[in-house]
Amino acid sequence: MSVLELLESFEDEVLDPEEETFALFSAPIPSANLGFIDPRAAELDITLPPNRDFTIHQSPTLLASSRAGGTTGAVLWKITPLFAAFLSSPDCPFLPRSSSAPTGPASSDAAVLELGCGISALTGLACGPRVGRYVLTDQPYVARLVQRNLDANERAPAPARRGAKGRASSSSLQAAPAPAGHVFFEPLD
């Protein structure tokens, strides 16, 4: 493509900047959902690489309310799973990793403070196993749903191994480590 062809592909030259500005600011905004995954769903199933499944509870009712302090933290944003996947990946330069286990947990000295986590706690759930302490913060109105999401995403007990007669032995039923073990919520206002 030549320079002339490129110039011809542009829109007409702006002759009146004030009129152009007025036209741009008076045009309707194309999206009203602000980038939420599904603002009407009370529960979302999210999968982060490599095959880590999370159930996120959110509050469409709270989002639709006229709460004075804001409501955008009541549902999961589209960027959150992408951000959580990036931060929890072994290649992420921002979270420490031990030299002996590059994809395993970091030293117990590492800590993360997330300001304005919203209801999901997804970033904390994804990154929590790599740090010694992960503190989620937000306004008090999200506390109940954050705790519900932390509780819902603790790993279930590992399946019991059957003995010779088909009975589960009491020593064989062990809980797998909870990914939210070092993740805490602290309300701020």
What per-residue confidence (pLDDT) applies to 83? 93
Closest CA to 160 of 151, 152, 169: 169
Domain membership of residue 119 (yes or no) is yes
Distance of CA 160 to the CA centre of its chain: 32
Highest mean pLDDT of the ranges 5-19, 62-76, 107-121, 163-177 = 107-121
pLDDT reported for residue 30 = 64
- pLDDT at position 172: 36
What pLDDT digit, counting tens, does each position of 63-117 carry?
777 776 667 778 898 999 999 999 988 888 887 764 544 455 556 678 899 999 9
Q: Where are the alpha helices (DSSP H) in 29-70?
A: 60-64
Using a 10 angstrom Cβ sphere, with 0-12 exposed, 13-18 middle and 19 or more buried, the burial of residue 68 is exposed
Average pLDDT for the chain:
78
CATH number of the domain at 84, please: 3.40.50.150
Domain containing residue 94: 36-157+173-187
